[in-house]
Structure 1
Amino acid sequence: MPSFKDPNSRVYSSSYGYPARQRAKGQPIGVETALAQITPLEDSLAAPGEAVPLEEIEINPQIKGIVAEVYVAEGEKITKGQPLVKIEPSEYEAKVNLARNNLELAQSQLELLKTFAKGRLQRLDKSVAIAETQLQQAEMKIQQIKGIMPELTPDSLKKSEAQVTIIRRILQETKQLIKKIRPTQEKLSLTQTTITQKIDKGRLELTNRQLKLEMALQDLQRTVIAAPTDGLVSQVNAARGELVYPGNRYPLLTISEQVTFKAYVDQARLNALQVGDRATVYLSAYPGQTFSGKVIKINPTVETTANRRYKRGINQQYTYAVWIDLEDLDLPPGVQGYAQFKLVQTSITIPEGSVTHLSGGEGMVMVVDSGHAVVKQVRLGRKFHDLRQVLGGLEVGEPVVIHPRAINPGDLLSMDNG
């Protein structure tokens, strides 16, 4: 009967079937086998997702003021340096004018002080010079008198009284000159110190007012807020007439930079993707159209609803994301769709009918080794049509029994490679 040799028949695996009869005769059991071989496998992977920016830049004011103009709207493309928001500048223009006036006043005061100091020091220098000249003249007279003065004796003392009177007068004048020149010199030194301190103070005040002018000009420049980079305006919170200041609860604007499509991939399939893989993206906002792109980033992300620090790690949801850069499409954030990947890989495969499945991706196969049946444990991958991917436990070229149900380990086998 045909059923006795049909591997799918219950009789085949019974004590009356073909394997049992061959085993009883001590003859090899003819089995159909296939070689484990490398096979190119094509697969497709679809993952839902949405358009998200790789980076978001929040634009905040650096000064306090009233919003005069908002130059952009949500969804608008912008370029680096483009004006975004203008704060009413009149207050800061007045500060600049005041700082300029104060700087000019400080410059004038410093120049006036230098001119006054120069004249005062010149007068004092002249007075000191005159006193020093008079002192030198007095000292010369004393030396002259000493040169002509004879040695005093009791006999000549009366004759020298007139000369002594003259010497006393010259000495008295010299003492007066010394008393006069010392205060003049001290006054000159003190005046020089005082003037130097005043000039230093004037220069410091000039520097401070220059800094204040620079700060006022910087604040005036900050009344116009420009884009720091190219991008897309994804959010506008500023309105004309609104009071804004540094530390606002919400940013004036949010700029999205390099918007990409973020696809959420099953973690079991994440290893199948690599940076640089091509993808086809279907967007709900563009029905009937497809967009091509490539994977630029693969990363696990964490989303959590925990707001308090001590609850960190609670209510966390782990997802795996793949970022796709779409070519020739300026995509606004929030657009939903899905990405499809065509995956081609090579792997060892065997017929699905040769596998006995266990749990956890494990399985068993029966191979023919030196004419006998040998059981091997293998790690299994995905199924592709009637083939099963083998991830480990089997070498290329090993013959596996396609229907091993009635074969026992150690049975003598004869192969039929189909």
Structure 2
Amino acid sequence: MVRLLVKSPKPLSILSGVSGWFWLYVGLILLGAYLLYAAIVPTYKSPNSRLWSSAMGYPAMLRKMNAEIPVETALPSQREMVKTVSAAGEIGFLHEVPINIEVASIVTDVYVESGAKIKVGDLLLRLDNGGSPTRLARLDVEDKRNAYEKARRDYLREKEAFKSGIIAQTDLAQYEADMNQARIELNKAQESLSQSFESRSKNIFGDAKQSSRGAKTDILSPIDGEVVQVATYAGENILGPKNGLMSLGDTLMFKASVDQRYFSTIQAGNRAEVYLQAYPDKPFAAKVIKIDNFIAVAGKADATVPYTFNVWLELEGVPTESIPLARGMNGYCRFDYPFQALAIPEKALLNYSGQRGVVMTVNAERRLELKQVTYSASMDGMVAISSGLGERERVVLSGQVGLQSGDKVKFEE
């Protein structure tokens, strides 16, 4: 018996004969596709992408397909906000009083120095005018008498001319008025001569005393406070009127130069914190004592900081022995004014300047609109909206650069 052995053929496969390199290439292609989907596509869809605002960006592609563009939005909310006003300034005296003299004198004694504490009536300096006021008053009387005699002669001469019809009555009346005015000036000079030993410092300060020593005059302090500066010395020969022999200050305060925009905001009695460079880690509680009612103008002598107004703040609890204050110490002050306001995230505000800006909103048809708004303050990433936006108007938070007014959008509620 003969058996026929038939060898069955191997099953055919499309994978037979495929090398390992093929599978490597396939794996790399699949990996690339995954990376494209997992990394590149989300980046392309992100508002932070460089392509977002381009003609090939994600919003532009959806706009061409008339599809809704996904956007991040938020609704405004009522919040307590704080309006902060800051201003630079320095320590200075609330009032500074200059000591001036108006007659030639010799400074015989100076009894105080810069930084000395003084009280009303303290002796500051002594002057010896050597009878100068009397001599000056007599010279003034002589000058006024000569002027009067001349005016009188002119009047008598023109009176005769009027009788002859040479001049009009109105001209004669003018000469008579000039004569009368000269007589008044002479009377004033004669009165001044009788008071020649009384210095005008007495009229200004109310504390200068003429002693029995004759021509010597004591200058006394008109205020409680401190000697700011002494600009004279014993033995100085002053040949005529001189301002600023000495200056006195009353109370050390913080003088802030505040921007004119806040003129209606800051009021007397408002609380603030003052920070001085001399004490960088210690804020000082302060209260507004005085507000200047004018704005400093550029180019004017008083315009230390143009277009600002001065606010004087009293620092509480200082100066002390451990925390002395000195005129000229610089720093800044800060006012905080809490208030309720409709607020939106800062990133929703576009093209903002001068408390005005633009927001992109979503209307009832889910289309974008641009709206002008005004704002007043910002805090913790939120902006207080003053006008231009309602509580139920949803604002766009990101990607506004690539979006257009009228775009159809979708968002999460």
What is the TM-score with the length of structure 2 in the denominator? 0.55
CA–CA distance in structure 1, aligned partners of residues 300 and 362 of structure 2: 57
| Matching residue within 287, 309, 323 for 1:294 | 287
Higher helix share: 1
Offset at residue 336 of structure 1 (A):
1.9
Q: Is structure 2 residue 236 aligned with structure 1 residue 248?
A: no
- What's the offset of the Cα at 1:5? 5.5
State the secondary structure of the residue aligned to 1:84.
strand
Q: Are 2:345 and 2:381, in contact at CA under 8 Å, matched by a contact in 1?
A: yes
Match of 1:336 among 294, 308, 329: 329
**Kept after mapping to 2: 8 A contact 1:263/1:339:** yes
Residue 234 of structure 1, CA deviation: 0.9
SS of equivalent to 2:211:
helix
1:93-108 alignment, distance < 5 Å: none
Shift of 1:45: 5.8
Amino acid at match of 1:323: W
- Aligned partner of 2:329: which letter? Q
The offset of 1:76, in angstroms, is 1.5
Equivalent AA in structure 2 for residue 279 of structure 1: A
- Any idea what the Cα deviations from partners look like across 1:224-283, whole Å, max 9, x if unmatched? 2222222221122332333457x5323332112333222344567777655434333344
Distance 1:269 1:416, change over 3 A: farther
The one-letter amino acid paired with 1:85 is L
How many Å separate the matches in 1 of 2:235 and 2:378?
Answer: 65
2:350 to 350, 356, 375: 356
Q: Which stretches in structure 1 are left out of the alignment for 5+ residues?
A: 93-207, 307-312
Which residue does the alignment assign to 1:386? 381
CA contact (8 A) 1:283 1:335 kept: no
* Partner of residue 412, structure 2: 416
1:399 match = 394
Q: Is contact 1:304–1:317 with CA below 8 Å preserved after alignment?
A: no
Question: Which of 307, 312, 318 is equivalent to 2:306?
Answer: 318
* TM-score, length-scaled by structure 1: 0.54
Determine the C-alpha separation between the residues in 1 that align with 2:371 and 2:410. 18
Partner of 1:40: 80
Identity %: 30
| Number of residue pairs aligned between Structure 1 and Structure 2 | 291
By how many angstroms is 1:367 displaced?
A: 1.7
Q: How does 1:7-406 map to 2 (within 5 A)?
A: 7-9=47-49, 17=58, 21=62, 24=65, 31-42=71-82, 47-61=87-101, 65-87=105-127, 219-220=210-211, 223-244=217-238, 248-265=241-258, 273-285=266-278, 289-299=282-292, 300-302=295-297, 304=299, 318=306, 320=308, 321-330=310-319, 334-346=327-339, 347-357=341-351, 362-373=356-367, 374-380=369-375, 384-403=379-398, 404-406=400-402
Q: Deviation at 1:399?
A: 1.5
| 1:146-165 deviation line (CA, Å, top 9, x unaligned) | xxxxxxxxxxxxxxxxxxxx
Aligned to 2:391, the other structure's residue is in SS state coil
Counterpart of 1:83, as a letter, is: L
Q: Judging changes above 3 Å, is the alpha-carbon distance between structure 1 residues 340 and 23 closer, same or farther for their aligned structure 2 residues?
A: same
Secondary structure of the 1:416 match is: coil
Please state whether the residue corresponding to 2:93 is helix, strand or coil. strand
Output the CA distance in 1 between the equivalents of 2:337 and 2:114.
41
What are structure 2's unaligned runs of at least 5 residues? 1-36, 133-190, 200-207
Q: Report the CA distance shift for 1:54/1:303 in structure 2 as closer, same or farther (over 3 A).
A: farther
Q: How far, CA to CA, are the matches of 1:267 and 1:214 in structure 2?
A: 49
Could you tell me how far 1:220 is from its partner in structure 2? Answer: 2.8
Distance 2:109 2:411 in 1: 86
- Conserved? CA contact 2:225–2:251, under 8 Å: yes
Q: CA deviation at 1:288?
A: 5.3
Q: Deviations over 1:95-150 (max 9, x none)?
A: xxxxxxxxxxxxxxxxxxxxxxxxxxxxxxxxxxxxxxxxxxxxxxxxxxxxxxxx
Q: In structure 2, how many angstroms separate the alpha carbons of the residues matched to 1:283 and 1:86?
A: 39
Residue 149 of structure 1 is matched in structure 2 by none
**1:52/1:304 Cα in 2 relative to 1: closer, same or farther (>3 Å)?**
farther
Structure 2 distance, partners of 1:76, 1:317, is 30
Q: Structure 2: how far apart are the matches of 1:326 and 1:23? A: 65
Tell me if the contact between 1:19 and 1:29 (Cα under 8 Å) persists in the aligned partners.
no
Aligned CA distance change for structure 1 residues 399 and 58 (closer, same or farther; 3 Å): same
| Residues in 2 aligned to 1:358 and 1:213: alpha-carbon distance in whole angstroms | 69
Secondary structure of the 1:301 match is: coil
Amino acid paired to 1:387: M
1:355-409 Cα deviation digits (max 9, x unpaired): 3326666533222222332221223566545334434322334211223455443
Aligned residue for 2:296, secondary structure, equals strand
